[in-house]
Amino acid sequence: MKPTVLDLRGRKGQRFAMLTAYDFPTARLAAEGGIDLLLVGDSVGMVVLGYDSTTPVTVDDMVHHTKAARRGAPEAFLVADLPFLSFATPERALAASERLMKEAGADSVKLEGGEEVAPVVEALVRAGVPVLGHVGLTPQTASALGGYKLQGKDEATARRALDGAVALEKAGCWGVVLELVPAPLARLVTEKIAIPTIGIGAGGDCDGQVLVFHDLVGMFSGFTPTFVKRYTEAGAAIKAAIARYAAEVRSGAFPGEGQSFRMKEDVLRRIYGG
Ligand code: KIV
């Protein structure tokens, strides 16, 4: 049964698994595989749409992919990302969240940022929108952070992540993603806030973990962050299958008898005769 936001808050201290899904088949496989929470991340821009960052992803893109994921996993708790600049003001955030929840079927939105986005989170929560926060490495503003690199090694960035998580809890988030921060910092944040933390590249002491589907199954060849564990090499398996298909078409081995349809001899004769 689909958890409520209250159930999710109650999962503090329990380990749970979240995975990204951007389409019908992946969401269905993830749900069938027992994933607790699905995220239609704006990482869709990089792993599916071929952009070199998440910046170009639009609300329309997110609505399109969230709808597809929802069709694949009707019973899952589905979180959808608010893409870059779609939450620059409370009004824009409300409009984008309205589309993601009413049109596309998301159960919650996620947005990146710490103390600076607290007023937006407050406005969303006041309007009844469940919000998941995201601090540490925030890919939408990676450039300002010096690239896709570990956050929180020094006091200033560690404080920013910690204070951000505390501010997001105060603003009403039901949980906070901690991305690419040292494990001891993630542990401290997890101890300091009463809502669940969901780590990615943040060590094993977060309440939940999240991974990008294409990283987990080996289907994104751009780059693989060191914190990713590949559970299978689906990309290599798919490439090998495609190569065999192409070779069999060229050799005439495909389609064979088993993939062809028969018809009655007399019908064939009449057609030929006619
Ligand atoms: O967009 C995304 O997939 C994310 C996860 C990496 C947490 O934000």
Distance from residue 66's CA to the centre of ligand 1 (Å): 14
Q: What is the pLDDT of residues 16-75, one digit of tens each?
A: 999 999 999 999 999 999 999 999 999 999 999 999 999 999 999 999 999 999 999 999
pTM, 2 dp? 0.95
Distance from residue 10's CA to the centre of ligand 1 (Å): 22
- In the chain, at which residue ranges do the beta strands (DSSP E only) sit? 16-20, 37-40, 77-81, 108-110, 131-136, 175-179, 197-200, 208-211
Residue 234 contacts by C-beta under 8 Å, 6 or more apart in sequence? 217, 218, 219
- Please identify which of the residues 122, 169, 179, 233 carries the catalytic annotation: 179
Distance from residue 20's CA to the centre of ligand 1 (Å): 7
Q: What is the pLDDT of residues 114-125, one digit of tens each?
A: 999 999 999 999
Query: Which long-range contacts (C-beta less than 8 Å, at least 24 apart) are formed by 220-227?
Result: 220/46, 220/47, 222/46, 222/47, 225/148, 225/180, 225/201, 226/201, 227/180, 227/200, 227/201, 227/202
Share of the chain above pLDDT 70, in %: 100
200 in helix, strand or coil? strand
Answer whether 212 contacts ligand 1 (Cβ < 6 A): yes
Nearest CA to 195 out of 1, 37, 5, 65 is that of 5
Active site residue 122: no
